[in-house]
Amino acid sequence: MEYRKLGATDLELSVIAHGAFALGGTMWGGNEKQDSINSIHASLDHGVTSIDTAPFYGFGLSEELVGEAIKGKDRSKIQLLTKFGLVWDGSNKGKGEFFFDAADNGKTIPVYKYASRENVIKEIEESLKRLGTDYVDLLQLHWPDATTSISETMEALELLIQQGKIRAAGVSNYSVAQLQQAAQTLKPASDQVPYSMLNRSIEKDLVSYASATHTGIIVYSPMERGLLAGKYFKEGSLKSDDHRNGYFTQFNLDKVKTLLQSIEPIATDKGVTLAQLVLRWTTLQPGISVVLAGARNAAQAIANAEAMSLELTTEELQFINLQLAGLQ
């Protein structure tokens, strides 16, 4: 495993981080508790020391499972990354910005973006309890909240750093303009954003800005929620309550299938899976600090970690990028 400093902080994270969205089960067609815990143990055993979760994932369940999985482990060797700012329990009392209606066990639950000072302070206490720890390594705003000033949110994060409850503060889904505005109060350590072979929009301005300002970039959905692993094209079925049924419709699936068929021989020649090839390509892109990789069981977690052992030549990277150009 390779480890990188996150932006200008003293946080050293594993380049592949364990993405714990699916562990919550909600929107992913459920989950198995022991498989989830085993996946985290497998990640830690194979050098993946960074775990990214959020209160919203499973409405608290993901954080609880992460907390249970790391219980008894050396906390100083684990980096916990969590978030705040998505409220579903009504505690915002109508404040904030309506985001969407989440479905959970047949119920419709309204979710709001809410990043007020009061809510930041409330949520960190809840996360610390669920995670079973007294500090979080990186606390990230989950989504921008148009009803709360950026300065108010940053001031709250600065307070939590001073109190020792978080080591560093980051954001998610922020534009360059929002990062610049935040930096007037507190410079974010990182920005967590979507990035993949199918979505390279951050290369337009965020990558260069982050490099110039020593801001870390943590990317999520590098596999486009499993689509780039190729399995969907071979099996083509998902559970009815799996959100990916709708998510995948944004892509030209014929072109994606052609892309995967063109680069799969590289994976075959090197004795790795298509998913591992895609992950490794992502970690090698300029400006990327950390790549989140989801795992719902130990086998997936081990495969994600082992992707870092793959070596790609300049020629192979150029070939892959040439195929990607065909998606435009």
Positions marked active-site: 57
Give the integer Cα–Cα distance in Å for 289 and 194: 13
C-alpha torsion sign, points 202, 205, 208, 214? negative
Give the integer Cα–Cα distance in Å for 172 and 179: 10
* Measured CA distances, 207 to 167, 176, 216, 288 (Å): 24, 9, 9, 8
Contact at 8 Å (CB) between 297 and 227?
A: no
User: Which has the closest alpha carbon to 217: 290, 293, 308, 139?
Assistant: 290
Distance of CA 203 to the CA centre of its chain: 18
Give the integer Cα–Cα distance in Å for 135 and 160: 10
Tokens of 96: 């904030």
DSSP string of 124-189, one letter each residue:
HHHHHHHHT-S-EEEEEESS--TTS-HHHHHHHHHHHHHTTSEEEEEEES--HHHHHHHTTT---S
Give the integer Cα–Cα distance in Å for 88 and 109: 7
Contact at 8 Å (CB) between 55 and 85?
A: no
Region label for 288, one of left (φ > 0), alpha (ψ between -120 and 50) or beta (otherwise): beta
Contacts of residue 128, defined as CB under 8 A and 6 or more positions apart, other chains included, come to 134, 135, 136, 165
